Amino acid sequence: MTEMINVALPKGRLGDKVYNMFEKAGYECPSIKEKNRKLIFENPEAGVRYFWVKPSDVAIYVERGAADIGVAGKDILMEAGSDVYELLDLNVGKCRMAVAGPAGFSYDRNNELRVATKFVNVAREFYAASGTDIDIIHLNGSIELAPILGLSDVIVDLVETGTTLRENNLEVVDVITEISARLISNKSSFKFKTKKIVEITRSLESVIE
């Protein structure tokens, strides 16, 4: 019997793109494209079992071993500090994690900087490295609103094209890091399913654009 590898894919646009990469790499599972309410899809011949999960949950499924491998954004891995192997940069879902503020913003070091973000840990680490005192405001969405309404001075968020920022008269102040989707593996699974996981990694590597 072929060894089965459980793969956690992020629901949504990025997930579709990533599944296409798996398909191109030789790990197709046609039933995944059917419109139904099934949650798990498998192709025993290719030795893969896919399931869709919320993008921010992929790393949890992998870290806790429910999935052997998965695809998660670097932003999520950084924020959660997930203890997983990061085997490949898939070069999709690309954007930047950046600090943005009102156009022409300059930081007055006499005052505590108020930072609104979904990525509390990333922001804290970034400012700790420069010894800046910050007040973190944890928001779950519409982060761009915070500086406009005076809730925060700046925001730390993902910036893809910068259109949303521009339309709200905000601009990038600092780029923290480049973000893209990464292939991750559970550390223990990697020890016992090394051959198969390495084979999938190599095949995916060959279809990266």
Question: Which residue, 135 or 178, is less far from another protein as judged by CB?
Answer: 178
Which CB, 40 or 198, lies closer to another protein? 198
The nearer residue to another protein, 70 or 147, going by C-beta atoms, is 70
User: For the chain, what is the HEC assignment?
Assistant: CCCCEEEEEECCHHHHHHHHHHHHCCCCCHHHHCCCCCCEEEECCCCEEEEEECHHHHHHHHHCCCCCEEEEEHHHHHHHCCCCEEEEECCCCCEEEEEEEECCCCCCCCCCEEEEECCHHHHHHHHHHCCCCEEEEECCCCCCHHHHCCCCCEEEEEECCCHHHHHCCEEEEEEEEEECEEEEECHHHHHHCHHHHHHHHHHHHCCCC
Q: Which is nearer to another protein, 31 or 194 (CB)?
A: 194
**Per-residue contact flags (x/-) with another protein for residues 31 to 70, judged by CB under 8 A:** --------------------------------xxx-----
In the complex with another protein, the residue whose CB is nearer, 146 or 176, is: 176
CB of 208 to another protein, least distance (A): 10
Rounded distance between C-alpha atoms, residue 154 and residue 170, angstroms: 9
Q: Tokens for 4, please give them.
A: 């089965």
Residue 83 found at the interface with another protein (CB under 8 A): yes
C-beta of residue 29 within 8 angstroms of C-beta of residue 46: yes
- In contact, 104 and 172? CB cutoff 8 Å: no
- Residue 194 is a binding residue for another protein (CB under 8 A): yes
Which of residues 77 and 143 has its CB atom nearest to another protein in the complex? 77
Q: Binding to another protein by residue 209, rule CB under 8 A?
A: no
Region binding another protein by CB under 8 A among candidate stretches 5-13, 38-46, 78-86, 163-171: 78-86
Give the nearest distance from C-beta 193 to another protein in angstroms: 9
Q: Does 169 bind another protein (CB under 8 A)?
A: no
Cβ 195 to another protein shortest distance, Å: 10
Among 71, 72, 87, 143, binds another protein (CB under 8 A): 87
Interface ranges with another protein (CB under 8 A): 63-65, 81, 83-89, 185-192, 194
